Amino acid sequence: MDFWAEQAQRLHWDVRWSEVLDWSGAPYAKWFTGGRLNVARNCVDRHVEAGFGDQVAIHWVGEPGDSRDITYAQLRDEVCRAANALVSLGVRAGDRVAIQLPMIPEAIVAMLACARLGAPHSVVFGGFSPSALRSRVDDAEAKVVITADGQYRRGKAVPVKAGVDEALAGSAVEKVVVVRRTGTPVSMGERDVWWHELVDPQPTEHTAEAFDSEHPLFILYTSGTTGKPKGILHTSGGYLTQVAYTHAAVFDHRPGEDVYWCTADIGWITGHSYIVYGPLANRATQVVYEGTPNTPHEGRHWEIIQRYGVSIYYTAPTLIRTFMKWGEDIPARYDLSSLRVLGSVGEPINPEAWRWYREHIGAGKAPIVDTWWQTETGAIMIAPSPGSAEFKPGSAQTPVPGISAVVVDDAGKEVAPGESGYLVLDQPWPSMLRGVWGDDARFRETYWSRFAGAYFAGDGARYDADGDIWLLGRVDDVMNVSGHRISTAEVESALVSHPAVAEAAVVGAADPTTGQGIVAFVIPRGVAEVSVQELREHVAREIGPIAKPRQIMVVPELPKTRSGKIMRRLLRDVAENREIGDVTTLADSSVMAHLKAGVSSQR
């Protein structure tokens, strides 16, 4: 515990904690009990007070080529204005605020303004559909929604507010604040207010209240094994301690020297922990980029690295594989010599991508920290140290100091080197989730019922002969597509909500670029013609474009066990074009023959 008490010193506490960890209410942990702090003050004001007001916090780069440098002093002013603005709308500590914004400075300002007021934010990824936004807004009972008129996507302005209007029709949301980003025409209703009209005139003075260490900081929805996303709850003191500690230790971040860039979107946990809270708590100077990596050309990231002298670059394997496809001659045209640490997150990084990253981006020498963690863990849990003697392409290697992780078999017994099992976290950690919003039973059932007293991560893993950990992917019905978690059940329920579909089964099939691709098998309803293209669009409308199946196959039947459970393992064999595995538990073993015959006619 001394270890975490020491890490907590990275923060400014208005009132020091009395106890580092109270685990008496397990699986609900309390960290730094009795301590009080303000998260936004820790991320912004205290750096200004310490004399770093003129240091750039954010080098923001817009997709169309506009840019803004925001210093810590300017960021403080903006956050205070936005906090005052939210107060004027009636937002109080404990109220929930939903945010659906592109990667613009206002997104970070809005999150910090909520944190400053103790109003938990729920950021919803910009690519989610209106109905996905609505279900999240309703589940968290958000009082205010912050969004934009539109966003730039691959060189085009696309509407955002129109989708939010559709999402919120008839909802209990009181106010919608709209940032003007693209100039896309929008209709402003009675509860709508422009960000610039509301925020700009506000005073830059705002006294930050110190909240309890366990005060809720945010809710972030993630896919589970059922159709309904889970609202993962994170709190203040422990979360900020671990994101600050890991951002400093895993990336060897040096404030005032490094230029850091994490390419995630704030709609995901990586954006929360390693764009907003960790780096800002550590007084980082960071790049925030609004757009896609190939707009207007495929060298955009390398051009940005060269322009700002980025020294730490944190991205996802799916993007590295995309860069590989575009060709190594593209990064070769830029000066990337400022890079000294590279990071990877989201899925196991395949050794080929690891080597390419090291060779063509890291000049053959930059350490690559492969970081394993989850929305639920809040912060990095397993990663090699950047000063490690030996990197192993494809292995996240060891739990970071302070963290304990073990690989166990079905019975909960630690496995021997070389054998695979389940990854569990057998000790509480400061940034651990504090439950599933409004669903205690689901929290206990999903994470704490499988192995007594330990957190079940849902990932397979094994040790090698040196005791290093290799992650093997999900062991549940959660797919990992381009580093995004999508549940098979969610896509299935979107498919069966279409009138032409009687039944659907979805599997994640290996994909050379995205890690996994979504493959759906659907049984049509009646004799109606089913348009596969229409179904793909339907899923995009229901969930968002990220959930669009790569392939949909129309089949007469699905393989089921005698108890009616769909055998996804067999469907995966079909989707990956493999020999079909053991079919003895099928209720009707002829199903696979029919299915294969039908599928091969569609290939």
Interaction site with ligand PRX (CB under 6 A): 222, 269-270, 345-348, 370-375, 396, 457-459, 471, 474, 480, 485
Residue number, 7 or 375, with CB nearest to ligand PRX: 375
Q: C-beta of 370: minimal distance to ligand PRX in Å?
A: 5
CA 502 to each of CA 207, 258, 345, 499, 526: distance values in angstroms, whole numbers, following the listed order: 57, 55, 37, 8, 8
CA atoms within 13 A on the CB side of 144: 29
Chain-centre distance of CA 211, in angstroms? Answer: 25
Q: Is 174 helix (H, G, I), strand (E, B) or coil?
A: coil
The tokens of 300 are what?
Answer: 């955009």
Strands 478-481 and 455-463, bridge-based pairing = unpaired
Residue number, 346 or 559, with CB nearest to ligand PRX: 346
Q: C-beta of 220: minimal distance to ligand PRX in Å?
A: 9
Residue number, 74 or 315, with CB nearest to ligand PRX: 315
Residue number, 126 or 346, with CB nearest to ligand PRX: 346
- Do 279 and 286 meet the contact criterion of CB atoms below 8 Å apart? yes
- Do 181 and 91 meet the contact criterion of CB atoms below 8 Å apart? no
Distance in angstroms (rounded) separating the CA atoms of residues 422 and 455 = 11
Distance in angstroms (rounded) separating the CA atoms of residues 262 and 591 = 47
Residue number, 152 or 354, with CB nearest to ligand PRX: 354
Distance in angstroms (rounded) separating the CA atoms of residues 144 and 137 = 9
Q: Closest-CB residue for ligand PRX?
A: 375
- Do 122 and 99 meet the contact criterion of CB atoms below 8 Å apart? yes
Chain-centre distance of CA 266, in angstroms? Answer: 8
Residue number, 152 or 447, with CB nearest to ligand PRX: 447
Q: C-beta of 383: minimal distance to ligand PRX in Å?
A: 8
Q: C-beta of 483: minimal distance to ligand PRX in Å?
A: 6
The tokens of 93 are what?
Answer: 């500590």
Distance in angstroms (rounded) separating the CA atoms of residues 316 and 321 = 9
Residue number, 162 or 472, with CB nearest to ligand PRX: 472
Q: C-beta of 509: minimal distance to ligand PRX in Å?
A: 16
Question: How many CB atoms are located within 10 Å of the residue 560 CB?
Answer: 17
- Do 430 and 23 meet the contact criterion of CB atoms below 8 Å apart? no
Q: C-beta of 374: minimal distance to ligand PRX in Å?
A: 4
Give the CA diameter of the chain: 74
Q: C-beta of 108: minimal distance to ligand PRX in Å?
A: 18
Q: C-beta of 393: minimal distance to ligand PRX in Å?
A: 12
Residue number, 38 or 222, with CB nearest to ligand PRX: 222
The tokens of 545 are what?
Answer: 């474009």
Q: Of the candidates 86, 155, 170, 158, which has an alpha carbon nearest to the alpha carbon of residue 126?
A: 158
Q: C-beta of 377: minimal distance to ligand PRX in Å?
A: 8
- Do 386 and 367 meet the contact criterion of CB atoms below 8 Å apart? yes
Q: Of the candidates 434, 398, 39, which has an alpha carbon nearest to the alpha carbon of residue 243?
A: 39
- Do 527 and 552 meet the contact criterion of CB atoms below 8 Å apart? no
Distance in angstroms (rounded) separating the CA atoms of residues 148 and 355 = 39
Residue number, 289 or 373, with CB nearest to ligand PRX: 373
The tokens of 484 are what?
Answer: 């995004």
Residue number, 192 or 459, with CB nearest to ligand PRX: 459
Residue number, 434 or 474, with CB nearest to ligand PRX: 474
Q: C-beta of 507: minimal distance to ligand PRX in Å?
A: 16
The amino acid occupying position 415 is: V
Q: C-beta of 426: minimal distance to ligand PRX in Å?
A: 17
